[in-house]
């Protein structure tokens, strides 16, 4: 497995995989079908195997408030529970630190219990809960 990086996902070799991952999260009920996660300007650490087949990605942005905010974190199902995400996350953290980030935020959809458990294993702490109400 190789870990790679692009400074901007728009027009990059990883964009098709990110699109597929986003679709899979929505299809599986792990993210909203109406909320935008990405705009193409985000950075991305991703993992490849074989002849550059993408198997995982962490799409994120760093901002002036010294935060690195993960928009999408995804590992293809057949590559899960093999340490892929842990290795990818280590690269992501190193790059975020190099850009001045002092905190990582991973916004998880309430039904995505897998990433919530992974976050706990990686040392994340629950920070807030969001309540929403539709206006009639």
Residue (of 49, 96, 95) closest to 76 by Cα position: 49
What is the pTM assigned to this prediction? 0.84
Q: Residue 129: inside a domain, yes or no?
A: no
Reported as a single tens digit per residue, the pLDDT across 73-131 is 999 999 998 999 999 999 999 999 999 999 999 988 888 888 899 999 999 998 888 78
Q: Residue 65: inside a domain, yes or no?
A: yes
Q: Residue 108: inside a domain, yes or no?
A: yes
Q: What CATH number is associated with residue 34?
A: 3.40.630.30
Domain, as residue range, for 6: 2-121
């Amino acid at each position: 497995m190789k870990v790679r990086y692009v400074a901007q996902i728009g027009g990059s070799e990883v964009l098709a995989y990110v699109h597929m991952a986003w679709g899979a999260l929505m299809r599986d009920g792990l993210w909203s079908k109406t909320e935008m996660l990405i705009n193409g300007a985000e950075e991305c650490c991703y993992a490849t195997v074989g002849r550059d087949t993408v198997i995982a990605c962490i799409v994120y942005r760093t901002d002036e408030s010294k935060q690195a905010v993960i928009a999408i974190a995804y590992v293809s199902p057949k590559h899960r529970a093999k340490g892929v995400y842990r290795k990818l996350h280590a690269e992501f953290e190193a790059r975020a630190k190099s850009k001045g980030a002092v905190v990582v935020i991973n916004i998880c959809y309430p039904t995505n219990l897998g990433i919530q458990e992974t976050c706990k294993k990686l040392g994340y702490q629950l920070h807030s809960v969001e309540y929403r109400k539709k206006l009639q």
